[in-house]
Structure 1
């Protein structure tokens, strides 16, 4: 049986927020971790903060490009020889009434949040088959709950939830686990929000998401937690 510290994880969009929190938790538990960011500068900056916790590398990548995702996986395999965990986390949000939402915002949301996950998984699949690995997709409570101004985001996350559940059934025969995590409000920079320790204390924290991923990875191999909703205990209104 392999030791936990021999496992390799790849996290898309790992330079801040949820992806950063998951990266930190996995490093603390002995995983070697590759994170991707939109630029090499952002990836390197995140690595500077994470390297105190373990072996980590940063890669500039675009989840909207299958070639870019394939290059990312090849880079990971060239350095560490295997891939055990994929966290398809990279995401964007454009929120507006259908009257005001433009075509570029729609396309960016779908291409990143849905097609980007497809590309990340397609690029990683053969490596994950060899390792009988684990795929995490980061959906949202917006993947089952619609709201005004959320047409693009809801469409992407509803689609991601369905996609994740379908591939879970496709891949279980290879002993690959697929879990989609559906968080509510998380204290991140998402949608240009600037986190505030006091004002955002009620929200899920990035490290909470990291703890959840670690806990799921440590579940007995016979179990498959396929869809997990996580939300703050309270709300800012209470």
Structure 2
């Protein structure tokens, strides 16, 4: 089965670890060239050393909230690979409190990281994506569809990302550019593994992932590769007629479609 990645150039923000790094691995194995982006050079270098055996990969050390971050990252991709076909906006983090406990600065920081950085990246990438009828994939969270108590400001930032995805898909479809989102639920990550080590160090991962998960219909925490596989499909030519959608990757936990 041909996913159509051979020779294509992909940039993934927030990709030194977790879902971003795993997605880079899956796409490299399918023939893509990948530019990793994150703030920490040590983690990026470690990721590159692991991934380079699978294909052509490099990295940019960059805080995506910087004023010229989009231009700097895209320029690095074009200089290295000569093209840009796929942009994956994955930068973000977990910051969730009650409305009363979140101050104005926290709101601004969260929006800058999760929404405005994706705007900057997409604007900088657009001229190149128009040339290739490229793809934009925005990572959000199931909280963006189903905000719960104590999920501010992240649920609002993620909801805004979903609205942006849908509107962009309608604006950019005329150029053949597809814009989709994935809504991440409880997926294995460094953060989840830290909780595992702190709360249940005597459990195996399989035990921890399945214990007390009655709120997840599939009964377990998702694996990183399971999220990466969905992203890889949505950005591939196999999904050539899919745009403007937001796919839940949550084991069925969300109440929304």
Is residue 121 of structure 1 aligned with residue 122 of structure 2? Answer: yes
Structure 2 unmatched ranges of 5 or more: 198-204, 211-219
1:21 CA drift (Å): 1.3
Deviations 1:53-106 (A, max 9, x none): 211111111111241221111011011110000000011221212222233322
Q: 1:70 to 1:41 in 2, by over 3 A?
A: same
What residue number does 1:200 align with?
209
8 Å Cα contact 1:179/1:227 also seen in 2: yes
2:140 and 2:162 in contact (8 A); partners too? yes
Matches within 5 A, 1:146-185: 146-185=147-186
Q: TM-score, normalised by structure 1?
A: 0.90
TM-score, reference length from structure 2: 0.84
1:192 and 1:95, CA in 2 relative to 1: closer, same or farther beyond 3 A? farther
Kindly name which structure, 1 or 2, has the bigger radius of gyration based on alpha carbons.
2
Partner of 2:213: none
Write out per-residue CA displacement over residues 10-48 of structure 1, whole angstroms, 9 at most, x where no aligned residue: 000001111111111101111110010113222112111
| Unaligned runs of at least 5 residues, structure 1 | none
RMSD, matched Cα: 2.2
Secondary structure of 1:182 counterpart = strand
Aligned residues: 234
Give the one of 216, 221, 230 matched to 2:240: 221
Task: State the secondary structure of the residue aligned to 1:200.
Answer: helix
Deviating 4+ runs (over 4 angstroms): 190-196
Q: Which residue of 2 aligns with 1:230?
A: 249
Closer, same or farther: CA 113–53 of 1 in aligned 2, 3 Å: same
Q: Is the 8 A contact 1:93 1:109 kept in 2?
A: no
1:138 aligns with 2:139: yes
